[in-house]
Structure 1
Amino acid sequence: MRSLSLRLYGAFTSLVQPLVRRKLKRRAEAEPGYAVAVEERFGHYDDAAVGTGWCWVHAVSLGESRAAGILIAELRRQHPGIPILLTHGTATGREEGAKLLEPSDLQVWQPWDTPSAVARFLDRFAPRIGVLMETEVWPEMVAACRERRIPLVLANARLNEKSLASAERLGWLARPAYSGLTAVWAQTEADAHRLVSLGAKVAGVYGNLKFDATPDARQLAAAAKFKGQLPRPLVVLASSREGEEQMLLDVLKRFGATSPLPPEQPGIDSIARQVAAVQWMVVPRHPQRFDEVAALIESNGFGVARRSAAGAPTAAEIWLGDSLGEMALYYGLADVALLGGSFEALGGQNLIEAAACGCPVILGPSTFNFAEVADLAVAAGAALRVQTMEQAVRAALSLVGDAVRRDAMVQSAHGFAASNRGAAERTAAAVLAIAEGASPMPARTAASPAVAPEERAEPTLD
C-alpha cells in the first residue's frame, strides 16, 4: 500500500496540472519547442510506437542530454542494437537528444509526475530499465517503477549542498524516492556521501561522464584555421547567465573599452590598451536570451557581431556566440574562457569541455554545482579562481600577455581532461548488468552500418 505522503503528493501534482499546461504555453511563446507534442507530457502518445524492452534514458535538459549521448554511445558499443527510449523536460534537451537517435530509437517528453501520466507512460513503453541522468528523481515515477519491478537507476549522479538541504526539508518525499532507486553511481565521493545521507544505494563513484566526450574535431579544426587569422587574442565569457554579461560590460567600460585610447607613452601599457588589444566574446547559456544579450551589449555602447549573421566583425564590437552545439568552436577560438554561472550565485557551468579543448578557464566564486571538478581543475593548473568579474578580466589580460604561462595552462587542461576519463565504460557495464538481471536482453547483433551524418558546412566566423 502506498504511503499517505505519496498519495498526497500525487493528489497535488494532479491538482496543479492546469498550471503546468499554462506554464508550457507561456514558455512556448519564447521557445516554440515547448509547443511540440504537449500531450506526451501527460501520458498520451498518439503516434509513438508501442514496445517493450526499451532502455529508457531520461535527460532533462541540454547538459544532461550531452552526458546521455556519451552513455548511449557506450551502451551501443557494449550491446549493439539496444533500443533507446529517450525522454526530456526542456526544449533544448529534446533538440539535443534528437541528434542521438537511431532508427530503432524513440524520443518523447518525460511524463508529468502524476499517478495517471506515469502509469500511461509505463504501460505504453514497459522499459526494461530506466536510467535517470544526474539529478532527476521524481517520487511518483520511482514508486511506480518499484511496484512494477522495473529497475530505475541514477547515473552520473550529483547532489550539491544546496540541493541536499532542499531535499532534507522535504525528507518525507525525498528519502523514499532516493531509497527506492535500484542503484546510484555518483560523480564524486562528496556527491556519494550526500546521496547516501538521503538513503540512496550508491553502488560506485565512477566520475563524470562528460570527461569521456570528444570535442567536435571539425569545429576545432575550423577554430584553428580561423584563429590563425585573428589579429588579437580572444577571451570568451562562456555559458553566461543573466546578470553576468552586464558585469563584464561594466568592467570593460570602467577600463575604458568604449572610450578613445589614451596617447601611447613609452614604457606604459595602460589597462585601456590591454582591453582594446583583446577580442571579447559572449556566449549565453540559454538560446532564448540571445536577442536580449545582443540588445544589452548595444545599450552599453558596444557594437555586436553575431555568429548567426554574416559580415566581418570590427574592433569596436563584441562577438556574440548565438548558436547551439558549437562550444568546441568557441573554446577552440578562445585564448581564455571566463566560466559562466560562476560570477552570480548560480553554482557555475561545467568546465570539462573547455579543458578537453585545451582552453584555460577562470572561475568566479560560485561553483557549487561542480565543486570537486572545479577544485581539481584549479589544483591541476587548468583553471584559476577569482572572486569578482574585474579580477577575472585582469587575470585574463595577464594570461593573454604571458604566452609561457598560458601554454602551460593549455597543457594542464589537456592532461586534466585525459586523466579523468573512464566513467562511460563503467556506467554502461553496470546498466547492462542490471538490465540483463531484470529480464533477458535482446540477442546481440552486429553493429548496424554507420550512417554518414548529413554533410555540414565547415563552421566559419566570417
Structure 2
Amino acid sequence: MLRWIYTLLWLVILPVALLRLVWRSRKEPGYVHHVGERLGQYEGIPAAGPWLWVHAVSVGETRAAQPLIDSLLAAYPGHRLLLTHMTPTGRQTGAQLYGDNPRVQQCYLPYDMPWLVRRFLSYFRPEAGMIMETEVWPNLVHVTRRAGVPLFLVNARLSPRSYRRTARFGGAAAALYNDFSMVLAQTASDAERYRALGVRSVQITGNLKFDMQPPDTGIARGQALRQALGGRQVLAAASTREGDEPLILEAFSRWPGKQRPLLLLIPRHPQRFDEVAGMATRSGFSVQRRSALHIDSAGAEVNADVLLGDSMGEMAMYYAASDIAYIGGSLIPLGGQNLIEACAIGTPVLMGLHTFNFAQATEDAIAAGACLRVANADELMAAAAGVLDDPSRLAEMRANALTFAGLHRGATARTLGMLARVLR
C-alpha cells in the first residue's frame, strides 16, 4: 500500500520534477540534456549486451565505483558495463573516467515509476545490478526483483540518523531492503543497523573508497602546482558545502600561526564557483582561479591569498599540492565528505564534528593519527597552524595517512567474491 501511495505521489510531482530540471539548468546546463532518459527513453543508445549495471548517483559514488567497475571489466571480458547516474556532474565524472572505453555506456536512471523502470530493464536487460551506497528507490528495487534481475546494494552505509528515520516505516523498510539479493555493508556497524531493520542477507565487505588509487597524472600535476606556489604552504578546504565557506574565510582572516598559508578553496558543486569566488573577494582576500592558471606553463605563479579550485576531476592534484586538508560538510551538520582520497595521497585531514556520512572511516583515521577533529572554524585554523608550524608532526601525520589508507584496502575483492555467486 505504501508503495502505491508513493507511486501516486510520483505522478503528482513528475511535472514539478521536470520543471526543477529547467530551474537547476540555470546554473548547471547539463540538467536539461538527455531528459528523455529520465522518462525511460533510450532509443539511440546501443542496447547490445550482455550488460552489468552499476548505478552511481553523483560524483562521489561514481569515483567510489571506479575500483569495482575496473575489476568487473577485467573479470567479465565478454560483458559491457552500463553506468547510470542522476546528476550531470556524476555523468561528467563517469565520462572523464570511461569516456574512451567502448565497453562502458552511460545514461540517466529513469524516475522511480514502475512503468519507466520496466522500460529501462526491458531495453538493456542487465544480468545484474549494483546500486552504490544509499540510493534506494522503492519501485526500482521492487520491479528489478520482479524482473528476476539480481540487485545488490554495494558499499552500503546506514548512519544512525538514517537508521532511525528508516525504522519508522517498520516492515515496509525491511521488505524494501529484502528485495535486494544482498546488502554489502561498509562496516560492522552499518551491517548491524541493516539487520536491526530486518534485512536478512547482509555481508560486510568494507569501503570501496579505500581501493581508489590516486592517478599518477594527478600527483604529477599536484607537484607542478606546488612549483607555481613558490614554496608556500597550503591549507586545502576541499569539497566545501554551502555554509562552510563563510566560517572558513572568517577564521582564516585571523590565522593564528607563524605565516599564513595559501588557502586552496574547492567547492563541491561547480554551480557555486562564482558565488564562492565573490565571497572570498568580499572577505578581503585576493583570489586566483584554477581555471585561469596554466600550471604546465613556465613561470606560472600563484600570488593570491586564496586559490579557487574551480575545476572538476582534479581532486588528486589538489590534495597532492596541499600540506593539510579540511574535508567539507563537517563543520556544519551535513555529515562530511570523503576523507579517504586525501589520506591515500598522504595528506593529513581535519574534520569537524559532523561526520555521520563517514563515521567509521573518520574514527579510524583519528585513531591512526591521520586526522584531527575540530569543533569549529577557529579550532580548525589553530589545529592546521599547529601542524604546519611543526615539520616533524606534519611528516608523522603524512606517514600515518598513507598507512591508514593502505590498511583498509580489499573491499573490491570481497565485493567481487559476493557478486560471483550470481554472475556468470
Give the structure-1-normalised TM-score.
Answer: 0.87
Once residues 23 and 82 of structure 1 are traced to their aligned partners in structure 2, the CA distance between those partners, rounded to angstroms, is 36
CA shift for structure 1 position 168? 2.0
Give per-residue Cα distances to partners, 1:386-413, cap 9 Å, x unaligned: 1111111011111111011110111111
- Provide the residue aligned with 1:232 in structure 2: 232
Give per-residue Cα distances to partners, 1:259-318, cap 9 Å, x unaligned: xxxxxxxxxxxx3x6253x11111111111111100100111111110001375555521
Alpha carbons of structure 1 residues 202 and 115: separation in structure 2 relative to 1, 3 Å: same
Unaligned residue ranges in structure 2 (runs of 5+): 295-299
Alpha carbons of structure 1 residues 361 and 40: separation in structure 2 relative to 1, 3 Å: same
Unaligned residue ranges in structure 1 (runs of 5+): 256-270, 437-462
- Aligned residue type for 1:82: H
Q: Which of 318, 321, 330 pairs up with 2:306?
A: 318
Q: Is the 8 A contact 2:194 2:202 kept in 1?
A: no
Once residues 314 and 108 of structure 1 are traced to their aligned partners in structure 2, the CA distance between those partners, rounded to angstroms, is 39
CA shift for structure 1 position 75? 1.0
Once residues 426 and 351 of structure 1 are traced to their aligned partners in structure 2, the CA distance between those partners, rounded to angstroms, is 22
Alpha carbons of structure 1 residues 171 and 25: separation in structure 2 relative to 1, 3 Å: farther
Structure 1 residue 241 corresponds to structure 2 residue 241: yes
Alpha carbons of structure 1 residues 76 and 316: separation in structure 2 relative to 1, 3 Å: closer
Once residues 252 and 16 of structure 2 are traced to their aligned partners in structure 1, the CA distance between those partners, rounded to angstroms, is 42
SS of residue matched to 1:434: coil
- Structure 1 segments, 4+ long, off by >6 Å, are none
User: Size of the alignment, in residue pairs?
Assistant: 416
SS of residue matched to 1:153: strand
Structure 1 residue 79 corresponds to structure 2 residue 76: yes
Q: Is the 8 A contact 2:289 2:307 kept in 1?
A: yes
Q: Is the 8 A contact 1:130 1:150 kept in 2?
A: yes
Structure 1 residue 40 corresponds to structure 2 residue 37: yes
Which one is further off, 322-331 or 426-435?
426-435
CA shift for structure 1 position 153? 0.6
Alpha carbons of structure 1 residues 314 and 218: separation in structure 2 relative to 1, 3 Å: closer
Q: Which of 47, 56, 59 pairs up with 1:59?
A: 56
Q: Which of 246, 258, 261 pairs up with 1:274?
A: 258
Alpha carbons of structure 1 residues 107 and 316: separation in structure 2 relative to 1, 3 Å: closer
CA shift for structure 1 position 136? 0.9
Structure 1 residue 417 corresponds to structure 2 residue 400: no
Once residues 142 and 69 of structure 1 are traced to their aligned partners in structure 2, the CA distance between those partners, rounded to angstroms, is 23
- Provide the residue aligned with 2:129 in structure 1: 130
- Aligned residue type for 1:14: L
Q: Is the 8 A contact 1:192 1:202 kept in 2?
A: no
CA shift for structure 1 position 348? 0.6
Q: Is the 8 A contact 2:10 2:113 kept in 1?
A: yes
- Which one has the largest radius of gyration? 1
Once residues 134 and 14 of structure 2 are traced to their aligned partners in structure 1, the CA distance between those partners, rounded to angstroms, is 22
Give per-residue Cα distances to partners, 1:311-343, cap 9 Å, x unaligned: 755555211111111111111111111111111
Structure 1 residue 286 corresponds to structure 2 residue 274: no
- Aligned residue type for 1:280: L
Q: Which has the higher contact order (CA 8 A, sep 6+)?
A: 1
- Provide the residue aligned with 1:113 in structure 2: 112
Give per-residue Cα distances to partners, 1:20-68, cap 9 Å, x unaligned: 1011111112111111110110111221223453111100010111112
Alpha carbons of structure 1 residues 302 and 395: separation in structure 2 relative to 1, 3 Å: same
Q: Is the 8 A contact 2:329 2:337 kept in 1?
A: yes
Q: Which of 272, 283, 308 pairs up with 1:300?
A: 283
Give per-residue Cα distances to partners, 1:352-393, cap 9 Å, x unaligned: 000000001111111010000000000001111111111110
Once residues 157 and 74 of structure 1 are traced to their aligned partners in structure 2, the CA distance between those partners, rounded to angstroms, is 18
Structure 1 residue 24 corresponds to structure 2 residue 7: no
- Provide the residue aligned with 2:139 in structure 1: 140
Give the structure-2-normalised TM-score.
Answer: 0.94
Structure 1 residue 209 corresponds to structure 2 residue 193: no
Which one is further off, 117-126 or 6-15?
6-15
Q: Which of 343, 356, 381 pairs up with 2:344?
A: 356
- Provide the residue aligned with 2:324 in structure 1: 336
Q: Is the 8 A contact 2:52 2:81 kept in 1?
A: yes
Percent identity (aligned): 42
CA shift for structure 1 position 87? 0.7
CA shift for structure 1 position 79? 2.0
Once residues 279 and 285 of structure 2 are traced to their aligned partners in structure 1, the CA distance between those partners, rounded to angstroms, is 9
- Aligned residue type for 2:66: G
- Aligned residue type for 1:246: P
- Aligned residue type for 1:342: S
Structure 1 residue 97 corresponds to structure 2 residue 97: no
Alpha carbons of structure 1 residues 282 and 46: separation in structure 2 relative to 1, 3 Å: same
Q: Is the 8 A contact 1:340 1:349 kept in 2?
A: yes
- Aligned residue type for 2:160: E
Q: Is the 8 A contact 1:185 1:204 kept in 2?
A: yes
- Aligned residue type for 1:310: L
